[in-house]
Amino acid sequence: MSIRTTCAYCGVGCGIRATVTGEREVRIEGDPDHPANRGRLCSKGTHLGETVGLEGRLLHPMIGLKRASWDKALNLVARRFRDTIARHGPGSVAFYVSGQLLTEDYYVANKLMKGFIGTANIDTNSRLCMSSAVAGHNRAFGEDVVPASYDDLDAADLIILVGSNTAWCHPIVYQRIAARREAGAKLVVIDPRRTETAEEADLHLAIRPGSDVALMNGLLHWCREVGAIDETYLAAHVATPEGFWDEVGEGSDLWSVARTCDVPPPDLRRFYELFAATPRSVTMFSQGVNQALAGTDQVNAILNVHLATGRIGRPGAAPFSITGQPNAMGGREVGGLASTLAAHMDFAPEHRDLVQRFWASPAIAQKPGLKAVDLFRAIGEGRIKALWIMATNPAVSMPDAGRVREALAACPFVLVSDVMERTDSADYAHVRLPAAAWGEKDGTVTNSDRTISRQRALFPLPGEAKPDWWIVKEVARRMGWKTAFAYDRPAEIWREHCRLSRYGNDGKRLFALPDGGAGGNAAYDAMPPFRWGGTPFADGRYSTPDARARLVPVTQKPLPAPLRDWPMTLNTGRYRDQWHSMTRTGLSPKLARHREEPLVEVHPEDAAELGLADGGLARVGTPQGDSIFRVALTDAQRRGELFTPIHWTDRTSTGGRTGLLPRPLTDPHSGQPGFKATPARIEAV
Ligand code: SF4
């Protein structure tokens, strides 16, 4: 008998039918009835069955290097957090969590930190992935809502991919785009690199990194010049700040934009003409937009174009932020970010009051907490004295990861709950707690188009592993909050989450889940995938106090000239068949065949000038650190730019340590670090 569940990897959120064939063996097939993938799976999803073995798993609580009972470990954790709070205040503790958590895990962790410990020092690795999209949505719509679905791709006549190698990073979405192209839709890719996705496009604009605002403001200006602005929609549904058109129009003529973006004017004109003439346009964007020091402005530049042309809330017309992780969206819904509360609320007094009443909480957080980069900086400065890392590996994935390691080494108490026994971050843990993995966990995830799906357990919990929600609630109960954390199963948490989404919701917030009480546990167990929010903003009413969306006047920041000592620009990203720091995909020999080692991609003319040989070794350095990569020459790179993958760690390679290289600098609105344009240099070794 097959069990319906959801893929463990990316934000596409593909449905799976899993048939258990042995003790830790499972046959994986795409779920033909899941709306995200309609039976298809990419290479990572297909090979999930190769990654469910127990090799390398953490199966027992550990205090230091010694095995401990759950009771002893949990009591120690609760005591360390309690004592730290008593001596230094609630702001001296923090959780760093993950888009790999299920919504129920995320909900309980957020509730403990923000409602009971009383600080918002809980942030998530989703900060690194899509927090600029969150900030942009909030600025434009008054709520963090993705106003698109995969169905819009099926109805679009023009699909624009900005900063997204969709063919590799969201393959099933890309298949959907490819199918739509067969029906005549056009594809434009905007990306400094000629990726596999760009190779296939009708038009590729290889823009200078960081020039996205100029490109989109130029498009807005063009639409105004040719009469493609929807004045009726603007008048009825959008607030346009005074001076907006002058601000975004400055330097937005075609020739100026072509110069700023470093693209041929005829190509730029073709894009603008295509967009202006195609009402059913979807602009899908991803990390290339979000992971920038002006990421939020880049998001709003895209949203401005769609609002001003009325291309939103209608089939085939939408801006579409696509997330990296399987449950980045679920984390947003429960308030897993330090800058949000719960159920799409923020720290406004009425929201704090509402959530506090609902949770009957003793000490609701009064203001946003430390965002990821600031959080690890605070650890390094000794301001955070107890840290809980759940299901993520910041010693590899944070920018300036070398500094993050120093901070972890100096932190008086580090707790890591994870499925793997050894990770780069777990090396710094005083206590390690064994968490349930994909195939053992039970709960829900939300994908990029707001579809909520069940992940279901296929195997019994191995060793002494426990679900994350159970671990959090046991710590909370030992810290003294027994009643508020009296959960026995994830269905109870789901129902509470549903109730909170509706509690005090006067209809201004779109986020409202079905009646959490209806159907009880049986309904939860049988819950089919569903998308909340319908077609957001179809009625032209937004989640702002006056129900109007906002055009945000964003302008292109000057682009830095190359530095003498760091003349190259480093971009980082993913490979097709690997996931994050490879703790799971690294277990599949078939997936490893796609790219067996970390490469630095270099333009051949740069390589000739620098004496780099294809297949040779080179040291890539930035002011933060350096690491050695194998050189791959490709004219898919722009001159002066490098690309390295994010996956390799100390455990998997002696080089290829991309995390050491990016700067710990962030977007001022979202706190998202910029991974896409780090000043760097490269030399042969
Ligand atoms: Fe899994 Fe993403 Fe591949 Fe779908 S596209 S099978 S969710 S990795």
Ligand 1 closest atom vs CA 36 = 4
pLDDT of residue 412: 98
Amino acid occupying residue 102:
L
pLDDT of residue 391: 95
Using DSSP bridges, classify how beta strands 625-633 and 15-22 pair: parallel, antiparallel or unpaired: unpaired
CATH number at residue 611: 2.40.40.20
Task: Look at residue 650 and tell me whether its pLDDT is greater than 80.
Answer: no
Domain match, 347 and 454 both: yes
Sign of the dihedral through C-alpha 38, 42, 45, 46: positive
E strand or H helix at 281: strand 281-285
Task: Look at residue 348 and tell me whether its pLDDT is greater than 90.
Answer: yes
- CA–centroid distance, residue 1 to ligand 1 (Å): 22
Token pair recorded at residue 559: 């682009």
Q: Where are the alpha helices (DSSP H) in 411-527?
A: 468-478, 490-502, 520-525
pLDDT of residue 589: 81
- CA–centroid distance, residue 35 to ligand 1 (Å): 13
Counting ligand 1 atoms within 8 A of each CB, the residue from 5, 6, 7 with the most, and so the one to mutate, is: 7
Token pair recorded at residue 438: 């994909």
CATH number at residue 47: 3.30.200.210
Domain match, 305 and 407 both: no
Domain match, 367 and 249 both: no
Ligand 1 closest atom vs CA 45 = 6
DSSP letter (8 states) at residue 529: P
Q: Where are the alpha helices (DSSP H) in 228-264?
A: 231-237, 244-249, 254-261
Domain match, 164 and 254 both: yes
- CA–centroid distance, residue 13 to ligand 1 (Å): 6
Token pair recorded at residue 424: 């780069």
pLDDT of residue 190: 98
- CA–centroid distance, residue 286 to ligand 1 (Å): 15
pLDDT of residue 4: 97
Counting ligand 1 atoms within 8 A of each CB, the residue from 6, 38, 44, 447 with the most, and so the one to mutate, is: 44
Domain match, 264 and 156 both: yes
Q: What would the mean pLDDT of 185-207 be, rounded to a whole number?
A: 97
Last residue of a domain, one of 284, 307, 322: 322
Task: Look at residue 58 and tell me whether its pLDDT is greater than 80.
Answer: yes
> Which range among 244-258, 426-440, 496-510, 624-638 shows the weakest confidence by mean pLDDT?
496-510
- CA dist., res. 646 & res. 581, Å (int): 7
Domain match, 369 and 488 both: yes
Counting ligand 1 atoms within 8 A of each CB, the residue from 42, 164, 577 with the most, and so the one to mutate, is: 42
- CA dist., res. 403 & res. 373, Å (int): 11
Ligand 1 closest atom vs CA 30 = 6
Last residue of a domain, one of 273, 295, 322: 322
Q: Tell me the CA distances in angstroms from 636 to 196, 538, 616, one per residue in order.
A: 9, 40, 19
DSSP letter (8 states) at residue 142: S
User: In the sheet that 443-446 helps form, which strands lie side by side, from edge to edge?
Assistant: 443-446, 451-455, 530-531
Ligand 1 closest atom vs CA 173 = 5
Task: Look at residue 325 and tell me whether its pLDDT is greater than 90.
Answer: no
- CA dist., res. 508 & res. 506, Å (int): 6
pLDDT of residue 328: 85
CATH number at residue 192: 3.40.228.10
Task: Look at residue 170 and tell me whether its pLDDT is greater than 70.
Answer: yes
8 A C-beta contact, residue 485 and residue 477: yes
User: In this predicted model, what pLDDT tens digit does every residue of 79-91 receive, in sequence order?
Assistant: 999 999 999 999 9
Q: Tell me the CA distances in angstroms from 551 to 25, 140, 279, 308, one per residue in order.
A: 52, 6, 19, 8
Amino acid occupying residue 43:
S
Using DSSP bridges, classify how beta strands 15-22 and 2-6 pair: parallel, antiparallel or unpaired: antiparallel
Ligand 1 closest atom vs CA 40 = 6
Ligand 1 closest atom vs CA 8 = 1
8 A C-beta contact, residue 400 and residue 662: yes
- CA–centroid distance, residue 17 to ligand 1 (Å): 13
Task: Look at residue 380 and tell me whether its pLDDT is greater than 70.
Answer: yes
Token pair recorded at residue 510: 């779109």
- CA–centroid distance, residue 587 to ligand 1 (Å): 17
Q: How confident is the model at residue 652 (pLDDT cuts 50, 70, 90)?
A: confident
pLDDT of residue 587: 76
pLDDT of residue 240: 98
8 A C-beta contact, residue 494 and residue 523: no
- Does residue 56 lie in a domain region? no
Q: Is 118 left (phi over 0), alpha (psi -120 to 50) or beta?
A: left
Q: Tell me the CA distances in angstroms from 539 to 450, 512, 622, 654, one per residue in order.
A: 18, 17, 49, 55
Task: Look at residue 613 and tell me whether its pLDDT is greater than 90.
Answer: yes
- CA–centroid distance, residue 160 to ligand 1 (Å): 21
Domain match, 495 and 588 both: no
- CA–centroid distance, residue 622 to ligand 1 (Å): 33
Ligand 1 closest atom vs CA 170 = 5
Q: What would the mean pLDDT of 469-473 be, rounded to a whole number?
A: 98
Token pair recorded at residue 638: 């722009």
Q: Which residues lie with the beta carbon below 6 Å from any ligand 1 atom?
A: 7, 9-10, 12-14, 37, 41-42, 44-45, 170-172
pLDDT of residue 397: 92
Q: Please provide the average confidence, as pLDDT, over all residues in the chain.
A: 95
CATH number at residue 456: 3.40.50.740
- CA dist., res. 239 & res. 501, Å (int): 27
- CA–centroid distance, residue 233 to ligand 1 (Å): 36
- Does residue 474 lie in a domain region? yes
* Burial grade of 542 (CB within 10 A; 0-12, 13-18, 19 or more): buried
Domain match, 458 and 585 both: no
8 A C-beta contact, residue 345 and residue 325: no
Ligand 1 closest atom vs CA 37 = 4
Domain match, 372 and 511 both: yes
- Does residue 57 lie in a domain region? no
8 A C-beta contact, residue 609 and residue 671: no
Ligand 1 closest atom vs CA 43 = 3
Ligand 1, atom 3, lies closest to the CA of 42
- CA–centroid distance, residue 639 to ligand 1 (Å): 32
Ligand 1, atom 2, lies closest to the CA of 10
> Which range among 200-209, 234-243, 427-436, 496-505 shows the weakest confidence by mean pLDDT?
496-505
- CA–centroid distance, residue 92 to ligand 1 (Å): 38
Domain match, 658 and 519 both: no
Task: Look at residue 576 and tell me whether its pLDDT is greater than 90.
Answer: no
pLDDT of residue 579: 75
Q: Tell me the CA distances in angstroms from 384 to 92, 402, 408, 475, one per residue in order.
A: 4, 18, 10, 19
Residue 44: give the domain boundaries: 2-51
Closest CA to 676 of 9, 204, 165, 146: 165
- Does residue 562 lie in a domain region? no
Domain count, the chain: 4
pLDDT of residue 591: 79
User: In this predicted model, what pLDDT tens digit does every residue of 427-464 receive, in sequence order?
Assistant: 999 999 999 999 999 999 999 999 999 999 999 999 99
pLDDT of residue 114: 98
- Does residue 538 lie in a domain region? no
Domain match, 122 and 166 both: no
pLDDT of residue 517: 67
Domain match, 299 and 218 both: yes
